[in-house]
Structures are given as C-alpha cells and as structure tokens.
Chain A
C-alpha cells in the first residue's frame, strides 16, 4: 500500500450506457429466432473502433481505489481516437497532484501493448491542464525505453498486473 493517499474521497460515476448493440442486432434481419446461414461466413470487416479500445481499458482498476478507471472517469470513449494505425488515448487524473498518474498511464500502456495488433502506434496523454506535471508524465509514458525499464521492475510489474486483474470485464459487472 502506498503511504500517501492522494485523493481519499474521489467522485464515483456510474458506468456509461452500454452500447445499443441489441437494436443493431434486431435491425440486422427481418426474421427473428430463425437461423440465418450468413451469420458465420460473412466477410464484412469490422474495424477496431473507439469503443473497442475503450472496452479494453475501462475495467482497469485505479491503483488507489477499488474502482475502475471508467467509474472514476479517468478514461472515457470520446478520449480515444483512432486514425488508421495511430491510436491516441487521453486520460484524466482525478486530482491535479495525483502521483499515481504515471502508474495509471503505465497500466493503460501495458494493456494496449498486449491487446492491440502490432501495427498500431499508441500515444498516451494526460488531459491537457488536468495535471500539474503534465509534460513530465506525458514524456515518461511515451518513452519506449522508460516503459520497458519500468516493466523490468518486478514490484512495479506486480502492481500493474494487480490493476489489470479484471481488465477483461470490459465494463461488465463482476460475476458472482
């Protein structure tokens, strides 16, 4: 446990509305409950989009609280942008003096490193004006060498793994 708690009583937000995929599905076919042969083999490509990237990182835990980054509004779908092979993720620390920002950033970085195809270049930024040492944090997070070095540290890696333990939930509640 870190000795200093940077934000003892953060605001908790409820998770954003789930995507309207249900109606999307219903709209797909005129007939319901009838097997359609085309389900399996259609070749239309579903590109990786904003929501998908957000899904990957929304359930990462905050190192300080038992809440997810989504619940604390550290990350949100509109803060992700995709331009061909370049992904930009912006995140908002809960308080400007948050000393955990780099760690949060590192968690996001690791999650995306593991979950996105190699062709993407990911840029990670603190939301402009939301952190007192914004520049330093940004620099640290986008420096390949420093990220790699950080992950060599077993204690740090363990903390990151802890934050990522339920990242696969993708915004769904924990199963009982």
Chain B
C-alpha cells in the first residue's frame, strides 16, 4: 500500500512510464490491487485543480490499459464503469476517461448494465464538436468495440442507441474517423432494426456521397480516396430501405458531377441496385435509363461509357433476374423491352454515329440474363437481317454487318458468362443453357454473312462476324464449317487484288476453323492453294503473278502451323521444290535466256524454302512436339537435293554438247548460295529441338559425311546419287559449288548440344584445319562464314571437355602473326582473319572463358594499322553482341552478364584511347570501337558510364562513315528511352545535338536515307527529353531547318520530318 502511494506520487510529479510499469507488475504479482490504487489516487481524483484531476484519471486509465484482463473482476468493472461514466461529465477529465472506457469495453467482464451506463453517459456528455480528432477517434473506437462485442445489448437499446449514435457521428469530417464510422454504420444498417430511423441514417451516410476527399501529399495515415469510397459504398448498399431515397441522389450526382463523380455514382449504383431490389429498380427504371443513356450516348470519356454500360447491365439484371423463363416465347416486358426497341429504332440508321452506342447497349444486354439475351437476339437479329436485304439500304450493308458482327461476338462472350455451374437439377434447363443463344437464328446470320463476304466493301465485317460464329462453341455443325470454308475459298480463289485489305482476316478465320476442325481446311483450302503454285516461275516482268504466288505462300505459312496441316505442307512443298530444281529433261525449253531462267527458278525455290523455314520457326517457337520427326521426313530430302545439284553442276563435261551443258546449268539452280543458306536454316531449326540421344546418333553420321565424305546415311530422296560417291568439302580440289555445302554441315553442327562429342579423331586439329581452310581454301563469303560458325560453336561448347587449349594456343601465336599482324598479306585476307578472330573470341567470351580477354586485347594492337584498324575496332565491339548462331536455342554455353563484365573491362581502355589525341589514328579507331560496342551490348551494361560517353559520341557523329553515324544516332535514341526533362542526360549538349542532327537530316549533306530518318527521329524526341528553356534559343532554327527536310526526295524521310516539326511546334514552356 505504501509503495503504491509512493509510486502514485512520483508519477503525478514526473509522469514517467516506469512507475506505471511497476504498479502493473505489483498488481500482477498480487502485491497490491486496484482498490489500493484508487484509494491512493483518492485525493487527486477529487482535487479542485483540473490538472490534478485529469492526471488522476489518466493514471488510472494507463494502468488499466496495461493490466492483464484477468486482474479486473466483475466487481471492479462495475465500479470502474460507473466511475468513468461519471467522469465524462467533467470536461477536465473526459479525455482520460474515454481512454479508460476504451480499455474497459474490451473486457469480457463488461456486461449489459455497464455498457448501457457508459453509452448513456457518452450520448449525454460527449460533445463531439468540442473534441479534437484523436479523442473523437477514441469515441469511434469505443463504439467499434461495442458493436463488435456487445451487439445484442446495443440492439436491445433500440432507438435510444440509434439516436445517440447519430448524434455522435453527425458532422464528422476526418477521414481516419470516417473509415471506422462507415464500418460501424454498415453493421448497424444491416443488423439493427432501423426502419423508424431510415431517414436519419440516410442523412448521415449520404451526406458523404460522393467522396471528394483527396489525401494530402505524403499522408502518413495512408487513407486513400478509394478506401473511403469502398467503405462508404459498403454503407450505401447495406440496406434496401435506402433505395427510394438514394436513387434521386445518384441521378443528381450523375447529371451534375465531374468525371470522377460520375464514375463514382455509376459504380455505386452498380453495387446498390441489386441490394435495393427489383421492385424499386422496376419503378425507377425509366428515370435511371434516361440518365444512363446520356452517359452512353454522350460519354465524357470511354471509361465512364463502359461503367454506364455495366450499370445498365446490372439494372437490367436486377429487374429481370426474377423473371421466370416462361417457356418458349419469353415475352420480356419492362425496361429491357423498351430499351431494346429504342436502340433498334436508332439502328434503323446504322451508318450514323449514334448507332455505335446503341449497338453497344444491345451487346451489353447479351450478358445480362438468359431471357433478356434471348429476347434481344430475337429482336435485333431479324431487324439487322431485314435491313441488310432492304434494297433501299444497300449502301449501308457495311455498317449493318459491323453491328451484326459485334453482336455475334457479344453473344459468344455471353455464353461463358451466362452459363452458370452445370449443376442444374431441373432437367432440360441444363441443356438449354449450353446451347448458344444464336442457334435459332444461325441460318439467317450465316446467309447474311455469306452475302456480305462477296462484296469487297463489306468483307471485313463479314469476316469478323464469321470469326465470331466459328469460334462460338457448339454453334456450327461440321457441314456448316465446310460451307463457310467453301465460301472463303471462293474469294481466295477469285483473285487477290481486292483481297489485300482483308487477307489477314481471312487467314485468321481459316486458322480459327482449323482449330475447331482441320478437315475442311485440309480438304478444301490447301488443295486450292497448292494448285495455284505453278511448276515453273512466272517471268521476271509478270509482277502480278509473282505477287499472287507470294501471297499464296504467305497464306500457307500462316495456316499450316497445325501439325496435320504442316505435314501436308512439307510433302507438297518438297515435291514442288524437287520439280523446280530438277525438272525432267522434257521440260527444257530451248528458247528462253538461260541465265535468266536459272535465276527465276532459284528465286522461286527460295520462296518455297523460305515458307518452310518460317512455318517451321513458328512451330519451334511454339514448342510443337511434331517438329522432331522431320529429321527423318524433311532433312534427308533437303540434303539429297542440294548434294545432287552440287554434284551434277560440277561434273566434268562428258560430251560437251550444247544441250548437256544447258542441262547442267539448269541443275545448278539448287547450288545458289542463297538457297543453300535457307536450306541450312531449315536444318538448324529441326536439329535444335532433337533430344540428346537423337542428336548424338545423327552427329555420328554427320561427321562421317563431313570428314570422310560418306554422305549415304544422311542423304535420301528423289534424286539419284551414286551410292559410292563421296563429298569432300574440305578438300582443296573440290569445286566451289560442293564446297558451298559446308554451310549445310555447319547448320547441322551449330545447334548440337554441348554434350554431343564431335566425332573426329582429334578436335584440336579438326578446328585448326577448318579455321585455316576458311582463310585459305574457302572462296566465298558463304563458305567462310559457315566454317567460322562451325569453329565458334564447337569451341564454345567443347573448349573444356575436349581440352582445346592447344588450338587456342597456336591460334593466339601463329594465326595472329601470320594472318593478321602481317603486312605482307592482302588487306582483304587480313580482314577475313579479323572476322575469324572475332568469332573465336566471341565463343570464349560468352562463356566467360579466362582466355577470352587475351584474344580481345590483341585486337587493340591493330588499332594503329592503316588497313585493318577500323575492322579491328569494330570487332572489339561486335564480340560482345548477340548473333543468331551462338544462342541459347542452339544450346550454346552462355554465362549471364558476360557483356557487363566485358564492358567493364574494355570500356575504360576505349575511352582512354578516344581521349588520347597524340595518336590520331588510334583515337579514331577507339571512337569506332566505342560506337560498335555500345550498339552491340544492352543499354544496362554501359548506362552508368553514359554521361561521360556523350561528348565522345558527339564526335562520332562527325566521322565520315554513314554507318557509324547511324549507330551513334541509334545509341542516342536508345539512351533517350526513359529520359525525362527533369533529369536529362543530354541536357548540357542539347543545342549541339540539335545542330548535328539537323546536319544529318539534310539530304544535301547526308546521302544515306537511314541516317536522315534516324536523325529526324531523334529531333522528334528531343522536345520530350530536354527542358524547354535549354532549347528555346534553338527552336526557330530547328523549325527553319526542318522545313528543308520536308522537301526531301524520299517519302519516308518527309514523314519523319513532318513528325519532328510537329513536335517542335508543340514545344512550349510549361507555363
């Protein structure tokens, strides 16, 4: 007791937390009790001085808050509640008393009597308007706890509680309190008997609607407008009693409000209407619709328009949800009917701008209730069909079809939304729901769409409609699908001139059909398409025929991705390919010019290979499992054709007769390097997806053919090749057309996995041989590139497994000195050697091999070289770039962030070189290396260095090489991405940049089209990334200079110039 009194005295003097803690621990340990505390406080609680009284009550409340609940028994609760209720009267003690009550009402020992006395006192004495926010918040917390724990007591208090509550919350404005108040109100509105106080409660909730609160910046409480909106919405939609009072408020806010208010009103209505019930909705339907209509037909923005549509949907749903589906002719009455009629009335002029929202409303109706959807369809479709066939409206078929196709799509969408869980107990119901709502009108709709399809102007919407019909589940039978495909085929076959516009839609439609059922497409469309591919190419001046073939091929390419169709495609196209490349001898016509004919045939074959490759690529990207089987069905045939052609074209002349000579030349079609390359692409695509085991077994045959010339096991097809014939691509004496085939081998080897062992006796010497072959024996770009890609790929994957250090060692020493760093060798050869060097470095670099940097460092040594300095510099950059050989898809070993590491390593050296003006040649080369490096690596790799690089890049813009300038401008464009006027990288250089770009955009100073376009693009960008005050002095010059670019001889340049100039015209100070 004494210690308690002592502690009380010290606390009153010091207000330190320790004293509270100590008392609490003493009470917990039963050394003292609450009675003692109250006794000890006695003199303070009754003191005359307000401050002392306050402190007394506060002390008690603080202890109460810290005490474990089981230390306060029923008796004390009773006493305390009476005590606190009394203290509420005293304006000096009301604040700590409320805090005490806050603790008290949470106690389980707090009973009915206590609650009532506390509440009554609160209603009587708590003058909310006189209290500050934090205290009001305590009041709300008390109410909140009471509503949570003592709901029955409150309910029993009935009107007394409601009136008291209204008094307390009336006029509250602080969002922190409101969030709690709304939560309390929702409970009251839902659970309490409020019917006598509806209006009062309506007043204290609806006065907040719509919420216009905007949180202050850096609001520490984190209450957003949306939180408040959602909480209030919870109240407004809590009880149907509000209905008749609320609708006028909503409509008023909708009419007069701003965008945000309108949106809020629309959304809130959407939430409330179902709660308010169908009777009210029906009674107010007209009024509501009239307001909603306005928002749909004259929307303030597209979001509100959508919200209005959604609210309309909800309204209709609310009204008609209770409608019984009365058998077959569900005659809808009420709003849905009226709106439908109104919209259809508007749709009598489908070409007018109002038709669009009207159609949107009808479409929205499709996703309301099944009966409304059915009714809407039964009204709209016949109307549209009639309109379509009305001779007076013939000119408006296009808009009619547009509306119809939107409608079909909406009907399809509604299917998934309307059909509820299939667990419908009543028979028949379930069946009915899965039937698409469009079914009864299927025939008319199809008829209209078919007619629409025939005319070019209405083809697009007709196709869109068909797309909708085809993709609706369970709508069309297989026969009808066949019918659709048949009709599309007719327009496909009719000629492609007017199809251009719609060809994409046609393809989409056919693909959609193929997804449902491949048969109609396979049996009808594909033969038609294949038939339009001739066996011989059109003459070089027959442009329209050529375009037609190309269109057919691109159609096939889009269509035949599906496994079954692709199989047909491969069979038909490879047959065609064989026919084009190797005709039977009777096809030979004597008259046409030979060179020309070979060229034409080669181009035609190239288109076909291209189609195969592109389709295959799509399948590979999609991860289709059927690609694997084409290692047996496609690849041997391709090898067969190309090997045969290479042999035939290079055979020794036997008789030297003119016909035979011509024949040989004609067979040379398939030796065209471009064809070989394309064929290689196909081989790579198939091989890259093979599983490891298959790759391994294939590699055995492949290397056997490459090294020993035993091609028999990889070649199989129509063309006869003597079985003992050998193909020795690496031999010095092999004719060049045969050497070209190295590209096919490289294409097969580069996508092999790293586990696949090269089947050669010694990999080091094999690579060495191929590398030297590429420089010595290879006599075309194709051969060289193929050999280097092969070396690079094997090196990348096998450098550690096969111990390729010997190869690297000799290359580093011998190859560099003999092939690159040797003045005796011709410049071209040295350039090729640098290319080889680049490929080797790259193979090592991307896997972070320790020797990679030894290779790249060598390149710097060549910077001073007059002949190859620039090539070496470019190579320094290109080493880090990506290419399409060493890729993840080709199973190359790539470590993450290799580019980053490389940039960190070489960039300082390049920058130093570019700044060093003592060696001008090296300095320029460094600039070249810099641009090349920056264009090859991702932006993130050099981002941090960018500010320092800009002056160097600006110098790059003055180098004479157009390609370099283009790269530099591209870099600037890339750097501008994500740049903003507030912190622009280029701000301090902007005027210089503008001048330089203008120079590069002028046709008289810059002949390259690409550079001019890029420069103009950058000029267009500048205003959006640099503050106006910086470029203000340049504006008039830029506008004047850009006027010259407007007269550029090239259309593409003029377009950019117009856009750039527009951007500058719009460039103003922010004020």
Contacts and interface: CB of A to CB of B under 8 A. Distances in A.
Given A11-B351, A23-B547, A114-B1061, 17 more contacts: A9-B352, A26-B547, A30-B540, A30-B603, A33-B610, A34-B606, A39-B1009, A40-B1009, A40-B1010, A56-B1058, A65-B353, A114-B1065, A117-B1044, A119-B1047, A161-B1066, A164-B1062, A167-B1062
A32 B609 CA distance: 11
B1062 A117 contact: no
Given A46-B1051, A167-B1062, A14 B398 contact: yes
B1066 A31 contact: no
B1054 interface: yes
Contact of A67 (B353, B354, B500, B1010): B353
B567 interface: no
B1007 interface: yes
B69 to A, nearest CB: 58
Contacts of B1062: 114-115, 164, 167-168
Contact of A12 (B353, B501, B1058): B353
Contacts of B1047: 117, 119
A20 B502 CA distance: 12
Interface in B326-368: 349, 351-354, 356
B73 to A, nearest CB: 68
Interface in B986-1032: 1007-1010
A43 interface: yes
Interface residues of B, number: 43
Nearest to B354: A9
B559 to A, nearest CB: 18
A150 B379 CA distance: 51
A27 B674 contact: no
A26 B603 CA distance: 13
B603 A41 contact: no
B1054 A48 contact: yes
Nearest to B1050: A46
Contacts of B1059: 168
A153 interface: no
Nearest to A43: B1049
Interface in A1-31: 9-14, 17-18, 20, 22-23, 26-27, 30-31
B1043 interface: yes
A143 interface: no
Interface in B776-802: none
Minimum-distance CB pairs A-B, first 4? A117-B1047, A45-B1049, A27-B543, A115-B1058
B1009 A52 contact: no
Interface residues of A, number: 40
B550 interface: yes
A84 interface: no
Contacts of B547: 23, 26-27
A118 interface: yes
Interface of A: 9-14, 17-18, 20, 22-23, 26-27, 30-34, 39-41, 43, 45-46, 48, 52, 56, 65, 67, 114-119, 161, 164, 167-168, 170
A12 B1065 contact: no
B535 interface: no
A11 B352 contact: yes
Interface string B600-629: 100100110010000000000000000000
B1010 to A, nearest CB: 6
A68 B351 CA distance: 15
B486 interface: no
Interface string B1037-1060: 000000110110111001100110
Contacts of B413: none
A26 B398 CA distance: 30
A41 B1044 CA distance: 19
A31 B546 contact: no
A22 B500 contact: yes
Contacts of A11: 351-353
Contact of A32 (B352, B460, B610, B1044): B610
Contacts of B172: none
A79 B132 CA distance: 72
A26 B351 contact: no
5 contacts: A23-B547, A31-B674, A40-B1010, A41-B1008, A115-B1058
B734 to A, nearest CB: 26
B607 A32 contact: yes
Nearest to B1053: A46
- Among A9, A10, A22, A115, chain B packs the most CB atoms within 10 A around the CB of A115
Given A56-B1058, A167-B1062, A117 B1046 contact: yes
Contacts of B543: 27
Contact of B1058 (A13, A27, A67, A168): A168
Contacts of A32: 550, 606-607, 610
B50 interface: no
